Amino acid sequence: MSEYLLEVKGLSRQLGDTFKIENVDLNLLPQEVHILMGANGAGKSALVKTLSGVITGYTGEILLNQTPLKINSVDDAKSYGIFYVPQDIQLFNKMTVAENLFFENLDIKHKLTPINMNELYFKAKELFSEFQIDIDPHEKLGNYGLAQKHIIQILKAYVSHAKVIILDEPSAAFTDYESNILHSIITKLKSKYVGILLISHRIKDIYKLGDRVSIIKDGHLIATLDVNDSIEEDVILLLAGMPLANRYPKLHFKRGKELLHVRNLKSSDILTDISFTLHKHEVLGITGLAGSGRTLLANCLFGNTDYECTALEINGIKVNVTHPFEAISNSVALLPEDRESDGIIPSLNVVDNIAFTSLRRFSHFCLINYNILISTVKEYLKRFNIISSNIYNRPNYYTNGHWQKMFFLKWIMSGSKIFILDEPTRGVDIVSKVDIYNCMNNITKNGGGIILISSDFDEILGMCDRILVLSQGKLVCEMTQKEATKEKILQYATDNK
Amino acid sequence: MNLVINLFAIERIKIIKNYLNQNEKVEVSKLSDMLNVSEVTIRKDLEKLETEGFLTRIHGGAVLRPKNSAVSFASQDTPVREENLFVEDHLQEIALIAVEMIEDNDSIMLTNGPINLEIAKNLHSKQNLTVLTNDLLIALELSRFPHIKSISLGGDTDFQSKATFGRLTLANMSHFYISKIFIEVDGFNEHVGFSVSNIDKATLIQEAVLNATSKIIVCPADCFNKTAFFKVGPLKIAEKIITNFNLDETYKRLICNNSIELFTSINLMEGSE
């Protein structure tokens, strides 16, 4: 009988009217990676949030090193040495990377001791070189992409000297390259006698990282299994109620004439010499590792970022897009990667959020005909399976998947033809995913063109007619759907490393 | 002021009527461009015309309301299954997606049913197609197109569905191998699987899937959670399912979890080209 680092007995917590975590027994050994799996909404995040004090007021027992303890706040959990890394980014964009990294772990002996900034930067640099991460600690955090922020957030846990580290789906935003970094961080943590609870959706993670797997379904922990060769992939998946493999509903259309033509685009020393065309009825996939310039490219095309190029043609006509206004009037639409901060206007209700790009359609003698606007929005919402019991609600009452669908509606209503989708299905439940894919089919069918930017290679392979791979700001290859394989994409994406 | 606007409205309605008589359907955005007025105005005009009974408004536009005379060739002297207009719209949406899956030079099979009839009506743009069917109405419909080869499976003709079934049909079918089969079912239930309302049809489908590479189920969303009397097979027999956009979430999840490609008829983009 080995000694558990963390032991949870009969943990229960009512969450909302219909959902609760019930009677969860969970334990964690030192030097162990314990993976939690389950479908979306099964209660994984709720469970670890309870353990880390984000959600309080639980019943049941939590023991750390055989001593019972009561966690009433995040501070409590941290003081006991339980460090929680949330699914979303909770860092400060305006501070430097190193400041973010050591924000909660400044080694100060006395309140008045000055902070040795040089030491912080040196430590950060050392850390990055140890894990071969290409991040400059002096740089402002806001200049980095989502995947790099995730890595910094995980490293924050690394430097915290916590005994128990909880990672909530760290690998969701990662390509294989970043997954390898995560892997080496976890291995290093294990050697320091840390216990890790890891929430993951990836089967690969189980074999690569896991020592034990627990499966959570509808708020119950239904099984804990040792990871060995006899673990049947299918059994885990069926238990967790997750898809065996992603299948993509993709309709192929005959390629139409040129919709968008970009030649020699250049921006902020990252993107160089980008040239491509997008045709009508086509989905063009752009993929690459984090930091390869995918999001920057999307922002350039939407006029969000300064750039230079020798030619930008939409529908065969030379245009100049230097501001989102010009992009919109040229029927370009962008669905941003960071939906929460760049996509939604939280202070407006659902109707206004959807309609504000297409107000011109509903105006008559300089007045907006609100009745028709509302009935149109309602019709759209119905057709996209968004329950609109109260359309005057703020968007934060809706799920991530619904938000994403609302963005589609917003741009479809304003008559956009060129859709730039930046990670459209990340963090979206499977039902909304299918709706989104079918919506993409509908757009391409009706003469639109889609640029799909994604780090999910399966999605790229499944949904795109043509695939471009970005590596360090350059387009390194172009393939058709038939030619492309995951290995090929990865090879091109990592080529000049 | 009042007079001017009135005159405009009359002019507009005349133009819309003329346009519809020629083209049978029209999009709001097109009219708005054509007449240089906002879409609000057009929608009002269409509403007015709808109350007059001249047209039927659809998502993003309007279609000419059919006159009482024969609509299609097949319905002239053959009894056609009765459906109201709303349901037909739903069936057509499904059919249009199915048509996109059919490529030139394919050999396909259409089992009997109204959605598959809709598919047949929309096949004329395809080249060098071979269509196998047990539905007489589909065979009749396809016989209008010289460039589509349609093969009708012989057998006992069923009075209700106007389709052929029985041992003769099965024997005929064994001569062919098809690349895509479109199966129209009448019900689906998590425990029973797919089901149809006719035992001969169930047998036919079970035999037909053995000779097909790609199995595609077409089924309106309201048939999910209904069970017809005769069992066809479990969910797993399908590779792709085409249905309406309003399919219940539990079924969407079930289908995805079984790694079946699910196509729904979300029809959001207005207009084409």
Query: In this predicted model, what pLDDT tens digit does every residue of A450-470 receive, in sequence order?
Result: 999 988 788 888 889 999 988
Could you say which of B41, B59, B272 has the minimum Cβ distance to residue A364?
B41
Query: What is the pTM (predicted TM-score) of this model?
Result: 0.66
Tell me, yes or no, whether A269 lies in a domain: yes
Angle of the B39-52 helix axis to the B2-23 helix axis, nearest 10: 70
- For residues A236 and A263, state if they share a domain: no
pLDDT at A202 over 80: no
- For residues A335 and A207, state if they share a domain: no
Please give the Cα distance from B229 to B220 (Å, whole number). Answer: 17
With pLDDT > 90 as the criterion, what percentage of chain A qualifies?
Answer: 5
Angle of the A146-158 helix axis to the A176-191 helix axis, nearest 10: 0
Residue A41: its pLDDT value, please? 63
* B252/A431 CB distance under 8 A: yes
- For residues A109 and A25, state if they share a domain: yes
Tell me, yes or no, whether A249 lies in a domain: no
Instruction: Tell me how many domains chain A contains.
Output: 2
Q: Average of pLDDT values for B223-240?
A: 87
Angle of the B28-35 helix axis to the B2-23 helix axis, nearest 10: 130
Residue A17: its pLDDT value, please? 60
Chain A residues near residue B100 by CB distance under 8 angstroms: 251-253, 445
Identity of residue B136: L
- For residues A221 and A296, state if they share a domain: no
- For residues A233 and A264, state if they share a domain: no
Q: What residues are paired with A439 via a beta bridge?
A: none
Residue A377: its pLDDT value, please? 83
pLDDT tens string A227-284: 776 566 656 655 555 544 557 888 888 888 888 998 888 887 788 888 899 998 999 9
Q: What is the DSSP letter of B38?
A: -
| B84 touching chain A per CB within 8 A | no
Nearest chain A residue to B104 by CA distance is: A254
Domains of chain B in start order, with CATH, are 2-64 (1.10.10), 73-264 (3.40.50.1360)
pLDDT tens string B65-75: 775 433 444 44
Contact call for residues A398 and A350 (beta carbons, < 8 A): yes
Contact call for residues A455 and A286 (beta carbons, < 8 A): no
- The size of the A-B interface in CB pairs under 8 A is 106
Single residue among A207, A240, A273 that ends a domain in this structure: A240
- For residues A170 and A268, state if they share a domain: no
- For residues A213 and A285, state if they share a domain: no
- For residues A200 and A115, state if they share a domain: yes
| B268 touching chain A per CB within 8 A | yes
| B104 touching chain A per CB within 8 A | no
Tell me, yes or no, whether A190 lies in a domain: yes
What percent of chain A is helix, strand and coil (3-state, nearest 5)? 35, 25, 40
pLDDT at B242 over 90: yes
| B101 touching chain A per CB within 8 A | yes
Tokens read off for A456: 């999910």
Tell me, yes or no, whether A1 lies in a domain: no
- For residues A217 and A346, state if they share a domain: no
Residue B9: its pLDDT value, please? 66
Tell me, yes or no, whether A432 lies in a domain: yes
Residue A495: its pLDDT value, please? 66
Identity of residue A417: K
pLDDT tens string B140-149: 989 888 888 9
Count CB atoms within 10 A of the CB of residue B194: 26
pLDDT at B5 over 60: no
Please give the Cα distance from A142 to A328 (Å, whole number). Answer: 26
Residue B6: its pLDDT value, please? 43
Q: How far is A485 from chain B (nearest CA, A)?
A: 20
Q: How far is A411 from chain B (nearest CA, A)?
A: 10
Contact call for residues A435 and A241 (beta carbons, < 8 A): no
* B43/A434 CB distance under 8 A: no
| B2 touching chain A per CB within 8 A | no
Residue B68: its pLDDT value, please? 46
Q: Lowest mean pLDDT of A191-195, A317-321, B37-41, B197-201, name the range.
A: B37-41
Q: Average of pLDDT values for A78-104?
A: 86
Chain B residues near residue A408 by CB distance under 8 angstroms: 268
Residue A238: its pLDDT value, please? 57
Could you say which of A364, A435, A445 has the minimum Cβ distance to residue B38?
A364
Q: Average of pLDDT values for A111-127?
A: 83
More confident residue, A238 or A384: A384
Domain span including residue A355:
258-493
- The per-residue pLDDT of chain A, averaged, comes to 82
Tell me, yes or no, whether A64 lies in a domain: yes
Could you say which of A241, A248, A448 has the minimum Cβ distance to residue B269?
A448
Q: Lowest mean pLDDT of A77-86, A206-215, A450-459, A461-470, name the range.
A: A206-215
pLDDT at B40 over 80: yes
Tell me, yes or no, whether A298 lies in a domain: yes
Chain A residues near residue B267 by CB distance under 8 angstroms: 383, 442
Residue A398: pLDDT band by 50, 70, 90 thresholds? confident
- For residues A159 and A276, state if they share a domain: no
- For residues A71 and A43, state if they share a domain: yes
- For residues A165 and A295, state if they share a domain: no
Q: Average of pLDDT values for A160-169?
A: 87
Contact call for residues A255 and A282 (beta carbons, < 8 A): yes
CATH number at residue A176: 3.40.50.300
Tell me, yes or no, whether A267 lies in a domain: yes
